[in-house]
Structures are given as structure tokens and as C-alpha cells.
Structure 1
């Protein structure tokens, strides 16, 4: 770690590009695929996918999504800096936020409480990126994402929500 410390000290974090948070329920895989089937591969945006999945199974989202875009798709890692034209996927059993220009992963506590992973991420994204935050809510019947989209709008960002008929 000491070898890269001098390099990292002078590194300017690329926070001048849009960060697009995409929230979906467990049944939102088809909607996510359709979105990336029609999204340009050179938008200069970073994409973060927060999907409600079972913490007991490894997510195959990165592998499946890579068939629907030419952008680099990978699981998010703790302290990772987002890059334009890349897609980051929430790993199973984790919660994700953005702090000081970096993705922050924590273990998701097992409980019977509703999962508000989308709200958590959207709220941190709004605080961190302000007008450069875009929230996309796909599928689902719960309320996860509603507080987060309010935070994004209040910070000057933009929100897109899938309509009940499956259109974005």
C-alpha cells in the first residue's frame, strides 16, 4: 500500500460526471436489460445498480448484464472510485453508499424489516453528487426508493421512474 500512497495523494477524483443509480426489485432484471439495450455505450455516465436480491446466493447480474451493453460491468468494491462508461452492480448481502467520491460497501444486516437499499444509496448519491445525481426506479411494489428520489430532486438531480405498464 505504501507504493501507491504518493500516487493516490495527488489523484483528483473524477466526480465531474453523472452518477446514475438504478434501483429495482428482485423481479427487475428484464427492465434493467431493456434499459441497457437502448442506452448508448459512450454516455460518460457511471451506473450503479441496486437490486433487491437474496443475500444467500451470489449475484450473476454482472455476467448477465454484460450481454446487454459494451460498457464494463463489474461488482462494486469498497472504496472504489466510479469511472465514466462503467456499470457497477451491488454484491449479494451488501449495502452501498457513496462517500468522499468512493463507493462504500457494508454488510447488510439480516432482519425482517423491509429492505431500503435503494433509499440508502440514492440519499448518499444526492448528498455526494447533487445536480450530477440521476435516480432511476424500475419495478417493484414497495416504497424503497421514494425517500431517495426526494433527496435527489432536492439536491438538484434528476429522477426517472418506470410506469406501471413497464415503460421507462
Structure 2
């Protein structure tokens, strides 16, 4: 099927909305382990980043954040509201659209010619952005040292998040190889 620019744009907007909903659903798979909960958000964010073009990956996570900002309970634990952006997890929420854009951009532009290594690099850069904005914001908001924020907001998540990245990569590869989403 040949896409016109309008058809392609409409399809990308629908997929962006779909991934915003997927992130919202995965956010509810949540275990509170300190100031930052363990969720499946990272999996969904990076799945969107590997499937959508950069501006639509960004849009998808921006829509997710905006839905939460207006009070729709899309954040972990069925919460929402502007207060989440000034709380302990605000930095992570702010980082999500940025990380989605950067990850998708690197994955799309392929600065490394090997697809698996390029995707791994893109995913690690995106995760680094989320962690960095997240724990620095956590430190400022919770009035704790950067070291304590790093220990609470990054260390417990590294191994589970790397596993989530691997699963997101495998699922995105499967969906693309089977042309499930039929993205031109």
C-alpha cells in the first residue's frame, strides 16, 4: 500500500496515541520500592522509541505527560496532576519525551552500522537521559545528596531496566519483521 503524506501523518498520530496508552497501561504495573517506583514504563517508552520516528516518539510521550499533567491518572499507581512534575519522580516524567526522541533519532539515523549495536547504543543513551534527569531532580526535590538520589533512583533499576530494554528491542524487531504495524 502506498501512503500519501496525509495518510502517513494520520497513521503516525494514531500510533503515537496508541503508544501513549501503552505507556499509561505499563505505568500501572508498579511496585513502590522507595521514592521511585518500579514500573514497566521504561519498556513501553523504549518500545515506542524503537518503532516510531523521532517526532512521533516524542509526541507519544508528550501526550502521556500532558494527560497526567491535567489530572488523568496515567502515572504509576493511577495518579496524575501537575504535582507529580514537582515531586520526586518529576525529573523522570520530564525526561521521557526527550529520551524517546533521542533514542528514536539515534536508532533511525544509525550512526553505528550494525543494527543491534546501534539500537543498544540508542537505548542506553535514552536510559542514561532518564536516569540523569530523574536522579538529579530527585536530589533537588527530596533535599538529599546526589549520591543518595543516585542510590535510590538509579541503582535498583539498572538490571531490571536493561532486561526491559532487551525485551523492547526483541518485540520491536518482531513487530517490524512481521510488518504488524506496517510503518512505511
TM-score (normalizing by structure 1): 0.37
Larger proportion of strand: 1
TM-score (norm 2): 0.34
Structure with the higher fraction of residues in helix conformation: 2
